[in-house]
Amino acid sequence: MPFELKILGCNSATPAYGRHHTSQLLHTGKNYFLIDCGEGTQERLTQYKAHTGKINHIFISHLHGDHYLGLMGLLFTMHLLKRSHDIHLYGQRGLDEIILTQLRYSDSKLNYKIVFHELDPKIKENIFEDDQVEVYSFPLKHRIPCCGFLFKEKPKPYRINKEKLTDDISLQAIASLKQGKDFIDERTKKSYKVEEYTLPPRKSRSYAYCSDTKYDEDIIPIIKDADLLYHEATFLADKAKWAHLTFHSTTHEAGKIAKAANVGQLLIGHYSARYKDVTPFVEEAREIFANTILSEEGQLIEVED
Amino acid sequence: MPFELKILGCNSATPAYGRHHTSQLLHTGKNYFLIDCGEGTQERLTQYKAHTGKINHIFISHLHGDHYLGLMGLLFTMHLLKRSHDIHLYGQRGLDEIILTQLRYSDSKLNYKIVFHELDPKIKENIFEDDQVEVYSFPLKHRIPCCGFLFKEKPKPYRINKEKLTDDISLQAIASLKQGKDFIDERTKKSYKVEEYTLPPRKSRSYAYCSDTKYDEDIIPIIKDADLLYHEATFLADKAKWAHLTFHSTTHEAGKIAKAANVGQLLIGHYSARYKDVTPFVEEAREIFANTILSEEGQLIEVED
C-alpha cells in the first residue's frame, strides 16, 4: 500500500528561484490528502501528474496567503472538471468565509459540495478516520492560529505465511489469523496459532506535518516516533533571533525537534526567499539530525512499511 | 515615449498547455498599468522582468477567479518587498471586501495603502487621468458585472522643426509653438507661425481592453479607432452558440468588432483550455479582420506613434 508524499511547493512567503508556495500531496492507500495549497498549486498538480480528481480532503494549516491562496483557483478548476463528489476542507475559522465571499461575488455555484471542518487550533484532535488511516490536527505556535497534521495508518492485519498454508485451511481461519487471533476448526479440530501461521503485520506508517511554527517542544509527544516529519526551516541557524521574532524555525531547531521526537526521517522546507541555494539548509540540519532531506518540488518521498 | 503591452497570461478559466490566467501590463510613459491579475501573475511579472515596484494602478475587469486570483498574492509580495507608496485598485463592488476579509484573517497590515476605486459597470466613465494619459472604464456584457478599459494618451505637443530653428528664437516662442499657437516676438517683431516652425504632434495612442464579453455592438463607439484592441475570443467560430450562452465571444465576433470599430490592430486571447493549438484562432479572426495577432505569454506589443 503506498504511503508517499509529493512536494508541490517548498518556499515561504514569496515564490523565488523556481520555488513556489507550500503544498504537498500525501497518497496513502485510497486517500490523496492535499496539505496546504499555495498560489499555483493547481498548476503543480498538473505538472507533476498528480490526481486532482482523487483529492477528497484538503488540509489548510493556517490563513497566511502562502499556504492557501491557490485554494480558490483549485476549487474552481475542480468545478470546471465536472467534479460532483464532496470535498472535505479542514481549516481555521474564516476560511469558509473567504471562500463563500468569493463564490458570492463571482455568482458561482459549484457542482459539488464543500464540507468545511473548522479546526480547533488549541487542542490535538482527531479530524478524520476511515478503515485505513487517522488524521489529527494539533497546535503549532505561529503568529496566527495554525495547526500541524498527523497522518497515521491504522494497525494492519497479520500477514498469512504462505509457506505454512495447507489446502484444508478455511476462510474463517484465515480471517481470524489476520486479526491476530488463534483459531480452532470445529470440524477437523485442527488448531491454527497466530505465531505459527502468520508473519507480523506490516508497520503502520505515520507522517507529521509542522508548518509554520517557532521552536516548540510541546509538539514532541504528539509527533513522537513519526516515520517522516516535515518541519519548517525558514532560516539558517544564524537567524535564530529573527526566526523567533517571526514565529518561524531554523535548520538547527527543526533538527532538534526531529531528534527529540525520535522520528525516522526529517524533511525540511518553507525556505525564505532570501536564499538562492538551499544546500546549507540540509547541511546544517544534519549537524543535529543526520537523516534529514530537503523539500524539492516534484520530488516523491516514499515511506516503506 | 513607450506605449507597450506585455502579455502575462492569455488563457480562460483553467491554466493549460503552459498558458495562464489573464493578466497584462501596459507601460505608457511613466505609468505601468496592470490589467487583470489571474493566479500566478506575480510569478509571470518576475519571469518576464516586469517592474512590480513601478505598478501603481491595477485594473480588475470583473470578479471571476481567472481575472483576479493572483491579486492577493501580489499585494502580499509588494508588502514583503517593502513597498510604501499607495496602490490604486480599480474593481467591481466586492473586491475590497474580498481583500479586507483575507487581510483580517491573516492578521496583516500592509506597509502601504490600497486606494480602492469602485467601478460602475453600467456607464462609461473616466477613472484615471494625469498629464500623459486618461483611462476610462466601460460596460461589457458578461454573466456578472464586468468592465472594459480604454487607455488613451492625451494630445501631444507640436514638435519644433529643428531645421527651422534660429539662434534668436526665444523660449516663450518655443513654448507657444509647442501648444500650437503662433507667436510674435514683441522685441524683434518677428512672427513665428505654427505651420512653418513645427511638425505635427505625434499620434496619441490608445489601447482598448475588452474581457470578458459576449458579442456586443454597443462597445463600438467607445473603442472606435483604437490603435490596439484586445478582444476576448474564448472559442472558435463553430462554438458561437456556446459562446453566447456563456457570455463569451468567438474569433469571428472579435474580428467583427475590430472591423466595425476601425481599430489599428486586433489582439485576441482568453482561449478556452479545450484548445491545445491556438493557431486556428488567429486564422479565423483574420478572415474578418486581417491585422489580428494572438496573445502569447511574454510577448511585448509596441504601439508606434
Query: Could you say which residues from 67 to 106 on chain A have a Cβ atom under 8 Å away from some Cβ of chain B?
Result: 69-70, 72-73, 76-77, 80-81, 92, 94-95, 97-98, 101-102, 104-106
DSSP string, chain A: --EEEEEEE-B-SS-BTTB-B-EEEEEETTEEEEEEE-TTHHHHHHHTT--GGGEEEEE----SGGGTTTHHHHHHHHHHTT--S-EEEEE-TTHHHHHHHHHHHTT---SS-EEEEE--TTS-EEEEE-SSEEEEEEE---SS--EEEEEEEPPPPPEE-GGG--TT--HHHHHHHHTT--EE-TTT--EE-HHHHEEPPPP--EEEEE-S----GGGHHHHTT-SEEEEE--B-GGGHHHHHHTT--BHHHHHHHHHHTT-SEEEEE-B-TT-S--HHHHHHHHHH-SSEEE--TT-EEE---
Which of B39, B81, B94 has the CB atom closest to A73's CB atom? B39
B9 and B71 co-located in one domain: yes
Q: Which of A167, A183, A199 is the last residue of a domain?
A: A199
pLDDT of residue B34: 98
> Is B227 a known active-site residue?
no
SS3 content of chain B, % helix, strand, coil (to 5): 30, 30, 45
Contacts of A65 in chain B (CB under 8 A): 72-73, 76, 102, 106
Judged on CB neighbours under 10 Å (0-12, 13-18, 19+), A84 is exposed
Contacts of B66 in chain A (CB under 8 A): 73, 76
Cα of first residue to Cα of last residue in chain A, in angstroms, is 9
B51 and B190 co-located in one domain: no
B135 and B32 co-located in one domain: yes
> Is the minimum CB–CB distance between B144 and chain A shorter than 8 Å?
yes
The answer to whether residue A300 is domain-embedded is no
Contact A63 B102 (CB under 8 A): yes
Q: Which residue of A has its CA nearest to B272?
A: A80
A169 and A207 co-located in one domain: no
- The CA–CA distances, whole Å, from A197 to A174, A190, B144, B195, B299 equal 9, 13, 67, 108, 69
pLDDT of residue B14: 87
Contacts of B74 in chain A (CB under 8 A): none
pLDDT of residue B305: 87
User: Would you give per-residue pLDDT tens digits along chain A (305 residues)?
Assistant: 899 999 999 999 889 898 999 999 999 999 999 999 999 999 999 999 988 999 999 999 999 999 999 999 999 999 999 999 999 999 999 999 999 999 999 999 999 999 999 999 999 999 999 999 999 999 999 999 999 999 999 999 999 998 888 888 899 999 999 999 999 998 888 999 999 999 999 999 999 999 999 999 999 999 999 999 999 999 999 999 999 999 999 999 999 999 999 999 999 999 999 999 999 999 999 999 999 999 999 999 999 98
> Is the minimum CB–CB distance between A13 and chain B shorter than 8 Å?
yes
SS3 B237: helix
pLDDT of residue A159: 94
Encode pLDDT of B15-46 as tens digits: 989 899 999 999 999 999 999 999 999 999 99
A25 and A169 co-located in one domain: no
Contacts of B69 in chain A (CB under 8 A): 39, 69, 72-73
Q: Which of B178, B199, B220 is the last residue of a domain?
A: B199
Contact A13 B65 (CB under 8 A): no
B29 and B172 co-located in one domain: no
- Other Cβ atoms less than 10 A from the Cβ of A156: the count is 16
Query: Active-site residue numbers of A?
Result: 66
The answer to whether residue A151 is domain-embedded is yes
Contact B101 A80 (CB under 8 A): no
> Is the minimum CB–CB distance between B41 and chain A shorter than 8 Å?
no
B48 and B78 co-located in one domain: yes
CATH number of the CATH domain containing B107: 3.60.15.10
Contact B42 A14 (CB under 8 A): yes
Contacts of B107 in chain A (CB under 8 A): 143-144
Closest by CA position to A141, among listed A295, A244, A268? A244
A62 is in an annotated binding site: yes
Binding residues of B for Zn(2+): 62, 64, 66-67, 142, 212, 270
B36, B66, B182, B216: which one is catalytic?
A: B66
CA A38 – CA A45 distance, rounded (Å): 12
SS3 B210: strand
The answer to whether residue A137 is domain-embedded is yes
Query: Could you say which residues from 244 to 273 on chain A have a Cβ atom under 8 Å away from some Cβ of chain B?
Result: 273
Query: Running along chain B, 305 residues long, what does each successive block of 10 average in pLDDT?
Result: 95 90 97 97 94 95 97 97 96 98 96 98 98 98 98 95 86 93 91 94 96 96 98 97 97 98 98 95 98 97 94
A91 and A175 co-located in one domain: no
Question: CA of B68 to nearest chain A CA: how many angstroms apart?
Answer: 10
Question: CA of B14 to nearest chain A CA: how many angstroms apart?
Answer: 6
What is the extent of the structural domain holding B219?
3-156+202-302
Scan for cell 470578458, then name that residue: B212
pLDDT of residue A305: 87
pLDDT of residue A123: 98
Question: CA of B123 to nearest chain A CA: how many angstroms apart?
Answer: 20
CA B144 – CA B121 distance, rounded (Å): 10
> Angle B71-80/B95-105 helices, nearest 10 degrees?
50
> Is the minimum CB–CB distance between A29 and chain B shorter than 8 Å?
no
B35 and B105 co-located in one domain: yes
Helix residue spans in chain B (DSSP H): 41-47, 71-80, 95-105, 171-178, 194-197, 220-223, 240-245, 251-260, 279-288
Residue A207: beta bridge partners?
A151, A228
The answer to whether residue A120 is domain-embedded is yes
Which grid cell is A156? 494492519
A114 and A232 co-located in one domain: yes
The answer to whether residue A304 is domain-embedded is no
> Is the minimum CB–CB distance between A39 and chain B shorter than 8 Å?
yes
A15 and A58 co-located in one domain: yes
Q: What's the structural domain count of chain A?
A: 2
A126 and A264 co-located in one domain: yes
In one letter, which amino acid is A152? K
